[in-house]
Amino acid sequence: MIAAHALYVGEGCDGIVGLGGGSSLDLAKAVRLLTGHEGPLDQYTLVSGGLSKIHGRICPMIAVPTTSGTGSEVGRAAVIITADGRKLGIISGFMLPSIALCDPELTYGLPRGLTAATGMDAISHCLETYMAPAFNPPAEAIALHGLDHGLHAIEPAMRDGSDANARRDMMICALEGAMAFQKGLGAVHALTHPLGAIRELNLHHGTLNAVLMPAVLRFNRPVIGAKWDVLAKRMGGAPDQVVADLNCRIGMPSGLTAMGVTEAMMEQVSHAALKDHCHATNPRVATQQEYLGLLRESA
């Protein structure tokens, strides 16, 4: 990131094009922030009170996604791993790219495994933002529309990477999930951010979301009321079981243990989740012990 910013300055650039998956787009967004703000970057993270420090005097940016997952191209956040190993979000309306160019053809060559993992990331965004407690009917409608597209398209997109309709619908799911998650995410992301920061494992964010989603859905069920029934009707069954079955069919890992996550790591992550910016927007705010229970249930 520092090297990319130095290149931007050294070449006399006046704008940034972010091309790639979520990590590439978030890198571009972070470099863009540095075009108008002094470092270090971690002072601008939400948990460090950085929101008020971010202004709009930064260069323009075009975001071009090549996966259908994070939706970073229409998101106001850049998730970064800081020098001390924390995975944190820099969030501001000023972080939204100037232009998002979403072309499904750029995802045709995405391998089967990445299609599955990034697709489950997009689906998790739709699910979590729909459950988040803030009152935002337009965001909830967008999330449900994205969920419908993602659930019916993810397996066809995996079977045939050049299926134009499936790739288009997965990109719709990613785009709408990110448009909607301005409403807030939840416990899945509060856990996957610190899990993704475990450097010796280098775990994929979307895969983690998929593995944790069934347990978080069950955890949230007592407090989301009629939303559970809405999800069950649209998904064709109990939401937690539908996601678990989908995970199995598309080849997601059987659990966190299979991904190398140890009990000691779970203990550390359960504490870190309390400090994540997604912690407060889960409909049922979890304690450290409840986070640890969710991790163990997903093991």
Res. 222: pLDDT tops 80: yes
Sheet with 99-100, edge to edge strand ranges: 16-20, 61-65, 99-100
Stretch 220-235: mean pLDDT: 97
Q: Between helices 239-250 and 137-159, what is the axis angle to 10°?
A: 30
Q: Are strands 61-65 and 99-100 parallel, antiparallel or unpaired?
A: parallel
Q: Which residues pair with 18 in a beta bridge?
A: 63
State the Cα–Cα distance between residues 3 and 20, nearest whole angstrom: 18
65 preceded by cis ω (within 30°)?
no
State the Cα–Cα distance between residues 9 and 7, nearest whole angstrom: 5
Phi/psi for 135 (5° steps) reads -85, 105
Q: Nearest-5° angle of CA 240, CA 234, CA 296? A: 10
Q: Nearest-5° angle of CA 146, CA 229, CA 278? A: 55
Res. 84: pLDDT tops 90: no
pLDDT at 39: 86
pLDDT at 79: 86
Res. 1: pLDDT tops 80: no
State the Cα–Cα distance between residues 219 and 232, nearest whole angstrom: 15
Tokens 């659990």 map to which residue?
255
Asked if residue 121 lies in contact with residue 209, where contact means CB atoms within 8 angstroms, the answer is yes
Q: Give pLDDT tens digits for 90-123.
A: 999 999 999 999 999 999 999 999 999 999 999 9
Token pair, residue 213, equals 């989603």
Domains of the chain, by residue range, sit at 2-100, 111-297
pLDDT at 19: 97
CATH number of 2-100: 3.40.50.1970
Q: Give pLDDT tens digits for 15-46.
A: 999 999 999 999 999 999 999 999 888 899 98
pLDDT at 253: 97
Per-residue pLDDT band at 198 (split at 50, 70, 90): very high
Q: What's the chain's Rg over C-alpha atoms?
A: 18
pLDDT at 82: 78
Res. 86: pLDDT tops 90: no
Token pair, residue 153, equals 């398209």
* Other beta carbons within 10 Å of 31: 25
Q: Give pLDDT tens digits for 124-135.
A: 999 999 999 999
pLDDT at 105: 97
CB burial of residue 232 (10 Å; 0-12, 13-18, 19+):
middle
Domain 111-297 has CATH 1.20.1090.10: yes
State the Cα–Cα distance between residues 133 and 183, nearest whole angstrom: 8
Q: Give pLDDT tens digits for 207-216.
A: 999 999 999 9
pLDDT at 247: 98
Per-residue pLDDT band at 2 (split at 50, 70, 90): confident
Q: What is the DSSP letter of 97?
A: -
Cα pseudo-dihedral 286, 244, 159, 114, rounded to 10 = 30
Q: Give pLDDT tens digits for 276-294.
A: 999 999 999 999 999 999 9
pLDDT at 254: 95
Q: Give pLDDT tens digits for 247-282.
A: 999 999 999 999 999 999 999 999 999 999 999 999
Instruction: Tell me the percentage of the chain whose pLDDT exceeds 90.
Output: 89
pLDDT at 53: 94
pLDDT at 119: 98
Asked if residue 93 lies in contact with residue 157, where contact means CB atoms within 8 angstroms, the answer is no
pLDDT at 98: 97
Q: Give pLDDT tens digits for 179-195.
A: 999 899 999 999 999 99
